[in-house]
């Protein structure tokens, strides 16, 4: 079986965009691949975090992974900081990464402009930690969004560099961009992508939003004055709602357009709300149940760490040996 690695940072709740663009695909991959899904808490602390919030966000993200259908029996689901090999391999890779390479990372350039007061070295070497995450597990495929492709390229370069300098040690990972390029747009500005960092909370739907809040957000979503439910770029709001509706109901866009012929946006929006509410209802219920079952969550992440640890140590031992570090007796 091919190996998949991916992770998300525990920095707030997941949106419908994260679900349709990432997590839902992960749940499909779990049937075919050997998957590692991590809550990357060490990545999250490259920007200031309140300890209490970070702890809560980490548990919440884990609960959202499981509530979305990631099965802890089929996958290795773990918290990054529990497997110390990640930071250990990072050190080795740090010694083989050029300052120039890291300076060219567009995410670093963006984040460093927004965070001038906290320009820490961790923000700079963040992509090296990500490379360690991936390379420790001999990963074949990494499902990530467009924005992470440059980081993945660094992971590939580092794998090749190490393999050439010593001898073949790491699998060189490939990006895995899901077929249907799901891009869920903001409900308030439908030409921008839906993002949880939007100041206007009416712009996004959270996986764990209450039904009434979902209905309110869809009702207020920005459309147009054309008044016909059809799929085109002049009606980005309606287009986005059609995309969401279609993905959640498995009805084609054409079918939906026909269904709403001669009907107004009111009916259409009501139905979109109900599809979202009904899709997310079991997720939210499961999420709440899991959060009140700390023992179960602990059990999941303890087992996950154990499984991950075994594979990670195996790779790290080889690396240490090749580099010339003396084996611990």
Position 144 contacts ligand TRP (CB under 6 A): yes
Q: How far apart are CA 229 and CA 222, in angstroms?
A: 14
Shortest Å, Cβ 150 to ligand TRP: 10
Q: Answer yes or no whether residue 21 interacts with ligand AMP by CB under 6 A.
A: yes
178 binds ligand AMP (CB under 6 A): no
Give, as ranges, the residues between 16 and 55 that touch ligand TRP (CB under 6 A).
Answer: 40, 43
Residue 188's SS3 state is: coil
Any catalytic annotation for residue 171? no
Whole-number minimum distance, CB 188 to ligand AMP, in Å? 13
Site size for ligand AMP (CB under 6 A): 14
9 binds ligand TRP (CB under 6 A): yes
194, 256, 275, 276: which one binds ligand AMP (CB under 6 A): 194
Residues 6 or more apart whose CB falls under 8 angstroms from that of 278 comprise: none
- CA 322 vs CA 30, 130, 253, 316, 325: distances in Å: 33, 21, 55, 10, 8
Residue 194 contact among ligand AMP, ligand TRP, none, beta carbon within 5 to 8 Å by kind? ligand AMP
- 188 binds ligand AMP per the rule CB under 6 A: no
Examine residue 144 and tell whether it contacts ligand AMP (CB under 6 A).
yes
Element (H, E) at 76: strand 76-79
Long-range contacts of 211-218 (CB under 8 A, 24+ apart): 211/277, 211/281, 214/273, 214/276, 214/277, 214/280, 215/273, 215/277, 217/187, 218/187, 218/269, 218/272, 218/273, 218/276
Q: Is 196 a catalytic residue?
A: yes
What does the block give as tokens for 6? 């991916």
Q: Footprint of ligand TRP on this chain (CB under 6 A)?
A: 5-9, 40, 43, 130, 133-134, 142, 144, 148
Positions marked catalytic: 111, 193, 196
């Amino acid at each position: 079986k091919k190996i998949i690695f991916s992770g998300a940072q525990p920095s707030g709740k997941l949106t419908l965009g994260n679900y349709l663009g990432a997590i839902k695909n992960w749940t499909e991959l779990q049937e075919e691949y050997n998957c590692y899904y991590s809550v990357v808490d060490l990545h999250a602390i490259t920007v200031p975090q309140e300890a209490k919030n970070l702890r809560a966000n980490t548990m919440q993200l884990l609960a959202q992974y499981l509530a979305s259908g990631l099965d802890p029996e089929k996958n290795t689901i773990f918290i990054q900081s529990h497997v110390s090999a990640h930071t250990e391999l990072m050190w080795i890779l740090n010694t083989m990464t050029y300052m120039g390479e890291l300076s060219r990372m567009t995410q670093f350039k963006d984040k460093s402009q927004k965070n001038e007061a906290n320009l820490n070295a961790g923000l700079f070497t963040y992509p090296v930690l990500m490379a360690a995450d991936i390379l420790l597990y001999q990963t074949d495929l990494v499902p990530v969004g467009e924005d992470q492709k440059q980081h993945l390229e660094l992971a590939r370069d580092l794998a090749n560099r190490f393999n050439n300098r010593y001898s073949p040690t790491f699998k060189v990972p490939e990006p895995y961009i899901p077929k249907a390029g799901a891009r869920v747009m903001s409900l308030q500005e439908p030409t921008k992508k839906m993002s949880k960092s939007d100041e206007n909370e009416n712009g996004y739907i959270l996986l764990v939003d209450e039904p009434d809040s979902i209905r309110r957000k869809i009702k207020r979503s920005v459309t147009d004055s054309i008044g016909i439910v059809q799929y085109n770029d002049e009606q980005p709001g309606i287009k986005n709602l059609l995309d969401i509706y279609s993905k959640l109901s498995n009805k084609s866009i054409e079918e939906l357009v026909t269904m709403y012929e001669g009907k107004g946006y009111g009916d259409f929006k009501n139905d979109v709300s109900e599809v979202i509410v009904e899709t997310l209802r079991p997720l939210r219920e499961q999420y709440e149940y899991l959060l009140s079952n700390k023992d179960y969550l602990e059990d999941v992440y303890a087992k996950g760490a154990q499984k991950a640890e075994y594979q990670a140590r195996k790779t790290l031992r080889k690396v240490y040996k090749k580099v010339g570090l003396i084996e611990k007796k």
